[in-house]
Structure 1
Amino acid sequence: MDDTHHRARIEQIHAKHSLALLRYLIRFAGERHAAEDMLQETMLRAWRHRDALPGDENGVRGWLFTVARNVAIDADRMRRVRPAEVTLTDQNDSVAASDTPDSAIAAQEMVRAFASLSEMQRDVIRQIYFRGDSIEEVATRLGIPAGTVKSRAHYGVQAMRAAVSS
């Protein structure tokens, strides 16, 4: 098959299965942005293995969901290896109308967990995760060593996880 045919087939597969895959991946990721990244990786793998894709639609769907599951597992493993990332909504943000009750409850739990941190931990987490500042920038701004910034961020994230899971 030529690239034009492959491209058309991948576009057709994407159009037919991407919404179901995205919903499936949101359950793994817990947030749309991460799920969209995983969907993109799933479709990229489909393109890379375009010659090996099953010929029938049910086979393609099964293949895509298997790959999506593997991508989600890989992403989870990567999150466990590297420093934790925390995404919180601003306390003044209202829950979007499209949010599910579960996501609204989860957001409230995260806000409550964030509020339970010490002011020093909240300050570090706010600067690193909300503003996107580097550890060095935060250390300079606060006049403390980078190791202290890392420690406060680490223990703050652990405290939030404990508060949310309890």
Structure 2
Amino acid sequence: MVRTLYEQHGSALLGYATRVTGDRTAAEDVLQETLLRAWRNADSLSEATGSIRGWLFTVARNIMTDSARARASRPHEVPEAPLAAPAERDHADSVVDSMVALDALNRLPEDQRRVLVEIYYGGRTVNETAERLGIPPGTVKSRTHGAMRNLRRLLVGQPAVLEEVAG
């Protein structure tokens, strides 16, 4: 039965699926799935109940529609890039980076620098920093935000308009 369906309708189905998908391999998959479904529903297929060719084309269209919907609902797949060996960093690069960061930190307003030193170098929480410096936690947060913005500007070479944060 499947051989007969393939001989009678295979090339037309394959042509249709190729035009719709734009991909011969995908079209062959659609044809295969369509014939598999015909084989599974062999008892209900007969010209007396309706056009077999029409049924086959409807099944093929539904398969392509389902496939397109499934692709649209998934994130776009990106081919995995081969892993490159990590670039060897010279110790001198690390020293220079540390010096640049320290210079930028020293150029911050004192209140911002103290907050960053407590949080990032001292490993303290916002509440611990607030208690240690005798300021409210909200002030610690706003000074941290302002300090990070100023550091970013200093490190990327933007004009060093150092913003004092109220508080």
Query: Relative to total residues, which structure has the larger helix share, 1 or 2?
Result: 1
**TM-score normalised over the length of structure 2:** 0.46
Higher relative contact order (CA 8 A, sep 6+): 1
Bigger radius of gyration among the two: 2
What is the TM-score of this pair, normalised by structure 1?
0.46
